[in-house]
Amino acid sequence: MKLGYAIVEAFRSMRRVPLMTTVAVGTIALSLMVFGLFLVVTYNVREALQEVKARVDVEAYLDDGVEGEALLFLRAEIAVIPGVESVRFISKDQARERFAAQYGDTLLALLSENPLPASLLITLVEDQRTGSGAEAVAQRVIPMDGIDEVVWGRSWADRLDRLILALTALSILIGLVVSLASVFVISNTVKLTVWARRDAIEIMKLVGATDGFVKLPFFIEGTLQGAAGSGFALLILYGIYGWVLPNLAGLVFLPSGVSGAIMIMGAALGGIGSQVSIKQFLEV
């Protein structure tokens, strides 16, 4: 009975002030859209950086003539180093093909013999794909028998690390500001809708409605407005995404979990916001 009445009352009051409701939902949608846009951008930058990071690897060039059991032994020895994900053997012929594919084979054609050494390409586990991670592995490999030279992208891996660190710090900072702004805007919008009905609240209190009875319709209304606002925000975001995508290949939309979280965040902010704002009107 109580819940039924509260739901009916929430819908009726939204219908009675359509402009107010539209403005509230629109404001919530806009502020969550900005928040979502920020998430989409951050998410895509992170994805791109992860892809770049995947290229942080270590290559160990072998002395000529390392093969058979010695090669197997060396591979096994490297494979057990902490931080190593996999070890792939690149033979002299494969190295030649790789070189030819990158630089053309005119240069190699001049030589009678293949000068390129065989190598072991060492892929690192994900959290070791950093300058220091690569270096740690390289230092273990250098003294091994049969190793001629070890190379890893020392300087650019270090720079990439610093870039990721800076971007992470920046995105946390901006994320904090943007989400605080969203919370502020949404709670104030909801406060406005509560304020618009302060006369009804006053009368409810006067005729002896309990606090819970006064609050419930506002809670439902705030939650619905928050959910509707975040729904619109996601729709707009998806629209922008669909419109931009053909021009920016490889851009990804938010994972469904994050979209769901935005919905829940909108609904929760609306619901909680209504309860916080109604408090000051309950002292009648």
Partner 1 sequence: MSLLQIYNVSKRYEALAVLDDISLEIDRGEFVCLTGRTGSGKSTLMRLIYMEERPDRGQVIVEGYSSERIRRREIPALRRKIGVLFQDFKLLRERTAYENVSFALHVTGTPRREVRKRVTRALTRVGLGHKRDAFPRELSGGEQQRVALARALVNEPILLLADEPTGNLDIEVGQGITELFQQVNYQGTAVLMATHNLGLIENMRIRRVHLADGRLTGDIESGSE
- Binding residues for partner 1 (CB under 8 A): 1-2, 5, 9, 16, 199-200, 202-211, 213-214, 284
Nearer to partner 1, 135 or 202 (CB): 202
Q: At its nearest, how many Å lie between partner 1 and the CB of residue 227?
A: 25
Nearer to partner 1, 86 or 210 (CB): 210
Nearer to partner 1, 212 or 255 (CB): 212
Residue 235 tokens, joined: 């729709």
Q: At its nearest, how many Å lie between partner 1 and the CB of residue 14?
A: 12
Nearer to partner 1, 50 or 210 (CB): 210
Residue 53 tokens, joined: 């990071």
Q: What are phi and psi of 43, to 5 degrees?
A: -60, -45
What DSSP assignment string belongs to 146-177? TEEEEEE-HHHHHHHHHHHHHHHHHHHHHHHH
Nearer to partner 1, 8 or 54 (CB): 8
Q: What are phi and psi of 74, to 5 degrees?
A: -60, -45
Nearer to partner 1, 140 or 197 (CB): 197
What b-and-e string marks burial along 105-129, b requiring 16 or more CB atoms within 10 Å of the CB? Answer: eeebeeeeeeebbbbbebbbeeebb
Q: At its nearest, how many Å lie between partner 1 and the CB of residue 195?
A: 15
Q: At its nearest, how many Å lie between partner 1 and the CB of residue 23?
A: 17
Q: At its nearest, how many Å lie between partner 1 and the CB of residue 187?
A: 24
Q: At its nearest, how many Å lie between partner 1 and the CB of residue 214?
A: 7
Cα gap 115→109, rounded to integer Å: 11
Cα gap 134→136, rounded to integer Å: 5
> Across the beta sheet with 84-90, what order do the strands follow?
84-90, 119-124, 57-62, 147-152
Nearer to partner 1, 6 or 134 (CB): 6
- Nearest residue to 265 (alpha-carbon basis) of 224, 218, 230, 234: 230
Q: At its nearest, how many Å lie between partner 1 and the CB of residue 7?
A: 12
Cα gap 23→30, rounded to integer Å: 10
* Alpha helix segments (H runs only) across 55-210: 68-79, 92-103, 106-109, 131-141, 154-195, 198-206
